[in-house]
Structure 1
Amino acid sequence: MQTIGKYVYAVPFLLFGINHFVAGSQMAGMVPVPGGVIWIYVTGAAMIAASVSIFINKKTKLAMILLAVLLGIYIALLHLPGAIKGDMSSIINTLKDLGLLGGALVISSISRDNA
């Protein structure tokens, strides 16, 4: 069951990562730091790498810790400011990414990586 769960968790991140490349220019306005679309591509590549890591069972523990950090940055910079103001979409995205962050930490804790 753990293997199936890890794969189910990886698929959306693979698709999210691909979407960052396909729709990067439309997403660039959401980035609250200088660099815009470059950060969209970097985070997209990170999500794809995390998914691939799960599928090939290489460096999964590290990849999931880094994915959790990325999700924490999303929460702090993208979602939490709006959530504090009471924006329902931001509240939902904060909770969604918090759940995904927790899932990444769980997968990190159960991973028995191959080199």
Structure 2
Amino acid sequence: MKATGTLLYGVEYAGSLHYDFELRLPTIADNIAAIEQSDGPASALRIEVCMLAAALTKLGDIPEEAITYDLLAPQLTNEDLDVLQGKVAELKKKRLRPSSASGVSASPSSPSAESASPSPASGT
């Protein structure tokens, strides 16, 4: 599952600005790799940009292996970061289990669970 979109300000590579992107859902493996490759303190923002670099499968005509933290961090604007994070949020929504498939979680799972808790005494 992938999402596509367009950056507002783009990323420069090989003398051209690149705007159109394709992004897959970042995973725990991306998070672990981001922490491991992080030079210096692993701030949340640094890790986020590392994860986005791993999740970007296309950014204009930039070769996928060239889409790295070192390319993105000095060039991404806050607005372009927001665009990418918005697309990740959209992918997460698409991936969620539909609520009708999860059943009713508030009811007990078995009849014995209902009888396990005493009912309050009626007003005597």
With the length of structure 2 as denominator, give the TM-score of the two structures: 0.32
Choose between structure 1 and 2: higher helix proportion.
Answer: 1
Between structure 1 and structure 2, the one with the greater Rg is 2
Choose between structure 1 and 2: higher strand proportion.
Answer: 2
